[in-house]
Amino acid sequence: MKLVVHVDGGARGNPGPAAIGVVVSDADGTVIDELDEPIGTATNNVAEYRALLRGVEWARGLGADELEIVNDSELIARQLTGAYKVKHASMKPLHAEALAALRSFDRWSIRSVPRADNARADELVNRALDEAG
């Protein structure tokens, strides 16, 4: 079963209060579920990885064997495809964890889109940040 996972993470202050947003859809685009969750203090990039990891974990729990990840972070997408190296030492464990999690799928892809095309995940991040105060 193929699932599409829109993910976003953000921090106010970078680092600062951070949150993630995840929208899980079937291959036809029907939304299965979504979540918004504060994650404490983090940088934007850490929040992006944490959103991705949460989305991958969720898709695996739903029985997906094929995964399409959509985000608005070109950096994360290019790091995971190998186009960019991971230079920050603090990001290397998250990168390795993401690659390990993705290996459990028969097929996976990731693409970066403009924020407007990832609007619902972005809204969820902001809702979580607003609710967390």
The amino acid sitting at 24 is V
Q: To the nearest whole number, what is the mean pLDDT of the chain?
A: 96
| Alpha helices in 44-118, H assignment, sequence order | 44-61, 74-81, 92-102
The string of pLDDT tens digits covering residues 60-98 is 999 999 999 999 999 999 999 999 999 999 899 999 999
Could you give the dihedral angle defined by the CA atoms of residues 71, 68, 22 and 87, in that order, rounded to the nearest 10 degrees? -50
What average pLDDT does this structure show over 7-18?
Answer: 96
The whole-model pTM stands at 0.96
pLDDT score recorded for residue 90: 86
State the Cα–Cα distance between residues 23 and 31, nearest whole angstrom. Answer: 7
